[in-house]
Structure 1
């Protein structure tokens, strides 16, 4: 595995050349997005459980970020009742309860379907449903919305469509964030890397259109602020809709040598020093990057009901770390879990390819297309790591997006937190003044702030 002593977050890429898979649906099928499906492709109806039950999924009504502060847990799932609820959990979550039977549990709240997007994203999603196409190379014909809101075709095609929906999901157009990443030791204590990031999604820039966005849909920049031994180092990265023709491009700024160099190693299972070896490059965002190393398939023809992290709103006070950081995992009392429908997608390593994970399973929220839980298996096929996206509804967009990602090593008892909101200044903002591609040139990398 490659090591690169800089900080990275997300990215997107795909490889291989092949004939397009029919992915567009008919006009009649697309009209479901205004009837029995939500505008982003989830099922509007709730399940049959009474709303007072922790097993209930309410109908989607487009209410946005309405989560009453007075909500209280309706159920606690722990080692004592795991057998009763295990079928309702992602495999990795059940494994976490077994690994930490005395401390890890799920406080289950009433489900709030807060996922939403602006009307123009809904309109673009409906248009994408009848025009977007999928191939082993990438995505064509999509702009400004979920590319495949109604997955169809065989299990392989639908699995890749769902993964692209995660990669191209609505998270705003431009964001800036100052945050920390914490690597928590098995015996307690942590290492912290603080950084500032900028992400620009031209794919969702209304100033452009499907013809003018070009091949790149993400510009990403990150600069390390602390610790001193890494401070000043920076990464710049571009990702594209057709990565077989134009793969991920990335550059690193070496503050010691004061030079910018190409960094093609920022991909796949390269491990970054800031994560203490607990996170690969393509673990960021629970998955990013090229799909080409795995054969993907949808495990169930329709979304299934599971308990997943949802509507979490908290920050970690590092002066009072005991309130949030526990051995092996976050303090469960600070988290919120809800019952939602998820698409379950599995990737198995292709013959002849190399990666530290032989298999990966993703549980993708049907309303937002955010991966909520990821199970990662080692080369012997044993469950090794479990990653959780503690999502949050951001009313200023509106959108459901991760507030904090947690990566757990079941063997070593260590974990890594990414995008941690702490008491330090900065935080996450969505500036109204948008950048353009010229603001993300490699020549400007040392001067970007």
Structure 2
């Protein structure tokens, strides 16, 4: 099931050792910590000193609740709010808040709240994913320049990371349930709460899980991806195809777009880095909080923090909720959200000299149990906080993977926001175990995919 990535041989001179040299994997004794003080994915197994973060006991069992039409029953539905952070009391809780959360409390003093619930370390992965992660710990290293991996098998490159770039690669290579198909809706709002929307059907296939997988052909492909618009009518049939390469400096991401009105397939090299996403409210490399090549930034590992972050967001994806009940002026209805105190890795990306991007700095906070970026702050060219992103994850316990119930990016300047990946009004929005062939992800296949 898992794939060994071909070791790329690149020679690089006169670059800083901490960035360009091959990072050594940890030794076997270090890797043994994954069965002791650390969880199988490298999180701290113990709780915190106050007991507000419990120990990890294996996450939720696969039968933690009933499943109906693809919606998972909330195993924590009876929990009560233990703390509500408001503009009046946030200064008492600054140690557990991100700069972006503080900015949102100040930007919307009448409506923005952070409801905090008891912490549950609910995330678990399959046993075979744990086994591969441990073997990666002693085997996988960064390519020269940090733009790829040597001797990597999916998932999770660095369960015991040594620097910020390795932590970021863990987000990129985290376990997400394997190949899947999904149907979700994206909303682009105005400051007054009006919105436009698009519903898309996505297919993501890891190359090693293709029915006709060929290691030589796919040696630098992490996954294949298509996204076809299925509503509203004006957008139906438009398709995006992506071949996601690992070393995007050596081999840039390959993307194509099919316009159903023109019936034409075109290369789409702009679908990368800081090219604008939906509504010009986020960049293309902001989807999934961060995707693509990390090469334009220096990534510094600050350490770990205990923060109030979106977690166990079953309520936000409740099928009883209509989208109009969630999408509100300025921000989503915070009464539908759930935050918990969790340990996160703190990583700061600073734009390299001579590189171009609309964000001069990216401040990321990555969950220790799922390796998912949960909070991300983005700064403009003048160093001012510009956009704030939150990823409201929930465990699909039957699949043993963490999935986003909604991924929000707020523009502090315009008062607008984009909400990705929502599925409250969809039945069986996610389907795992996708069976696909390479031919399903070729430019020639786009016309058939996009037929109205």
Fold conserved (TM > 0.5)?
Answer: yes
Give the Cα separation in 1 of the matches to 2:76 and 2:290.
31
8 A Cα contact 1:173 1:205, kept in partner: no
Indicate the SS of the match to 2:265: strand
What's the CA shift for 1:159? 0.7
2:61 paired with 1:60: no
What's the CA shift for 1:412? 1.2
8 A Cα contact 1:114 1:400, kept in partner: no
Structure 1 residues 79-88 or 238-247, which shifts more?
A: 238-247
Root-mean-square deviation (CA, aligned residues, Å) is 2.3
Partner of 1:109: 117
2:297 paired with 1:294: yes
User: 1:351-366 counterparts in 2 under 5 A?
Assistant: 351-366=353-368
TM-score (norm 1): 0.88
User: 1:26-175 counterparts in 2 under 5 A?
Assistant: 26-50=27-51, 56-64=52-60, 67-135=75-143, 136=145, 137-152=147-162, 158-175=163-180
8 A Cα contact 1:140 1:241, kept in partner: no
2:34 paired with 1:24: no
8 A Cα contact 2:247 2:293, kept in partner: no
1:207/1:312 CA distance change after superposition, 3 Å: farther
8 A Cα contact 2:321 2:424, kept in partner: no
Structure 1 residues 306-315 or 196-205, which shifts more?
A: 196-205
Alignment gaps of 5+ in structure 2? 1-9, 13-19, 65-74
User: 1:26-425 counterparts in 2 under 5 A?
Assistant: 26-50=27-51, 56-64=52-60, 67-135=75-143, 136=145, 137-152=147-162, 158-202=163-207, 214-272=219-277, 275-300=278-303, 303-313=304-314, 314-315=316-317, 320-425=322-427
Give the Cα separation in 2 of the matches to 1:112 and 1:205.
35
What's the CA shift for 1:297? 0.8
Give the Cα separation in 2 of the matches to 1:443 and 1:95.
46
8 A Cα contact 1:143 1:204, kept in partner: no
Give the Cα separation in 2 of the matches to 1:209 and 1:101.
55
> When the two structures are aligned, how many residues end up with a matched partner?
420
Give the Cα separation in 2 of the matches to 1:211 and 1:75.
54
Give the Cα separation in 2 of the matches to 1:206 and 1:108.
44
Give the Cα separation in 2 of the matches to 1:95 and 1:291.
26
8 A Cα contact 1:180 1:422, kept in partner: no
8 A Cα contact 2:323 2:424, kept in partner: no
Alignment gaps of 5+ in structure 1? 1-15, 51-55, 153-157
Residues 318-364 of structure 1, C-alpha deviations (whole Å, 9 max, x = no match) = 99555312211111110010011111111111111111111110000
TM-score (norm 2): 0.88
2:445 paired with 1:444: yes
8 A Cα contact 1:357 1:376, kept in partner: yes
Indicate the SS of the match to 1:85: helix
Indicate the SS of the match to 2:235: coil
Indicate the SS of the match to 1:271: coil
Residues 162-219 of structure 1, C-alpha deviations (whole Å, 9 max, x = no match) = 1110001000111111111001110121111111111112357799798886211111
What's the CA shift for 1:229? 2.8
1:378/1:340 CA distance change after superposition, 3 Å: same
